[in-house]
């Protein structure tokens, strides 16, 4: 904008000079002689007319580079915002469809978790008499457990494929005594399968404290053991198989003694699944 002007002479008439004011932002006013007889105008502020296209469309030279920079940033932000909005929308749609599919699956097939229990156990290699008479404070043993497991699949339309790479372990007081695997088999719907597996341990070291604890537990007729099963399975629904999931079975077994004729006093098994 041009500087404000405080002329000493009267301003030119609006009718004759509007075009001149539109073409120029500066006007030179000639002073009027005091002898002309015309009254002098009072001091005031005069508006200089500037074309609109220069005011609104052309930034000042010092702001031109900043204007270009901001214009480029606004263009770059639009695609990012659109992509983010579409991503959130697709994710929300996926969650809704997944919830609907899960609800339909549950209403149609009504899935139930399988039930597991230990029916029999034969223990070898843990001769407590030999252990307690040993003069060494640490005793090395190689136990062997032959266990019978009952698996009950109560579902009407769901079968279970037990895959390879399973693991079965038995612990006493956080010490792993032996380990092994499950057989690979298919369990159809509404089926009870009883299977055997042999678990072996080699070079298991028992400290004096653990040996004494085993002896005392056997005297009471209650030796607690922990059984852990991890079995990769595939679920069959109709003609469709799922991806591989992991069945987790944790059992607390109590036996009366650690011999081949051991009897199970109690067993309590919990069941879980890792979907991924």
State which residues of the chain have pLDDT below 50: 1-11, 13-29
pLDDT of residue 160: 94
pLDDT tens digit string along 118-140?
A: 999 999 998 776 666 655 678 88
DSSP the chain: -PPP---SSPPPPHHHHHHHHHH-S----PPPPGGG-PPPPPP---PPP--HHHHHTS--HHHHHHHHHHHHHHHHHHHHHHHHHHHHHHHHHHHHHHHHHHHHHHHHH-----EEEEEEEEEES--HHHHHH--SSSEEE--EEEEEEEEEE--SSEEEEE-SS-EEEEEETTEEEEEE-PPPEEE-SSEEEEEEEEEE--SEEE-HHHHHHHHHHHHHT-EEEEEEEEEEEEEEETTEE---EEEEEEEEEEES-SSTT--EEEEEEEEEEE--
Give the residue carrying structure tokens 């500066």: 26
CA angle 34, 39, 42 (to 5 degrees): 105
pLDDT of residue 17: 46
pLDDT of residue 179: 97
The pTM score is 0.63
């Amino acid at each position: 904008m041009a500087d404000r002007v405080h002329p000493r002479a009267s301003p030119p008439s609006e009718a004759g000079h509007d075009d001149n004011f539109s073409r120029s932002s500066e006007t030179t006013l000639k002073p009027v002689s005091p002898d002309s007889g015309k009254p002098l105008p009072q001091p005031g502020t005069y508006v200089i007319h500037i074309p609109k296209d220069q005011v609104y469309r052309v930034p000042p030279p010092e702001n031109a580079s900043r204007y270009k920079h901001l214009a480029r940033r606004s263009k770059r932000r639009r695609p990012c915002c659109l992509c983010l909005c579409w991503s959130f929308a697709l994710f929300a749609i996926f969650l809704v469809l997944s919830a609907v599919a899960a609800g339909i699956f549950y209403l149609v097939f009504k899935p139930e978790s399988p039930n597991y229990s230990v029916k029999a156990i034969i223990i070898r290699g843990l001769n407590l008499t030999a252990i307690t008479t040993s003069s060494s404070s640490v005793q090395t043993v190689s136990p062997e457990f032959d266990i019978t497991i009952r698996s009950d699949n109560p579902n009407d339309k769901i079968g279970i494929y037990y895959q390879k790479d399973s693991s079965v372990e038995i612990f006493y007081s956080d010490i792993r005594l032996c380990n092994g695997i499950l057989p690979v088999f298919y369990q159809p719907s509404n089926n009870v399968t009883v299977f055997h597996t042999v678990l072996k341990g080699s070079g298991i070291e028992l400290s004096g404290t653990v040996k004494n604890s085993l002896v005392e537990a056997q005297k009471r007729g209650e030796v607690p053991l922990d059984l852990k099963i991890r079995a990769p399975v595939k679920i069959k629904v109709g003609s469709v198989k799922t991806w591989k999931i992991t069945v987790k079975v944790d059992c607390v077994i109590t036996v009366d003694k650690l011999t081949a004729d051991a009897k199970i006093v109690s067993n309590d098994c919990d069941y879980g699944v890792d979907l991924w």
